[in-house]
Amino acid sequence: MKLKLAGSVCQGSGANNEDGWGFIGEEGDVDAAWILDGVTGINGKTYLPAGSDAAWFVARASHHLRALAGGRR
């Protein structure tokens, strides 16, 4: 059974987009897909090298999901 990527919307509501998504395969033949809902921080301070700590976490999680699912880094 082939899965097809129909579309995606990932627009944050704050100064930093803390949401993310990704997939492995081609748009017409998707092997794996994920959606990550970033959580807006409770204050304006960041400890990690990104627009916000949540944005950093989502980017790193997506990177590792792609690697673990057999995709390219």
Report pLDDT digits (tens) over 14-67.
677 788 888 888 878 888 888 888 776 667 788 889 888 888 888 999 999 988
Contacts of 42 (CB under 8 A, 6+ apart): none
| Residue position matching structure tokens 């995709």 | 71
DSSP 15: S
Looking at this protein, which amino acid is placed at residue 59? A
pLDDT at residue 73, rounded to an integer:
43
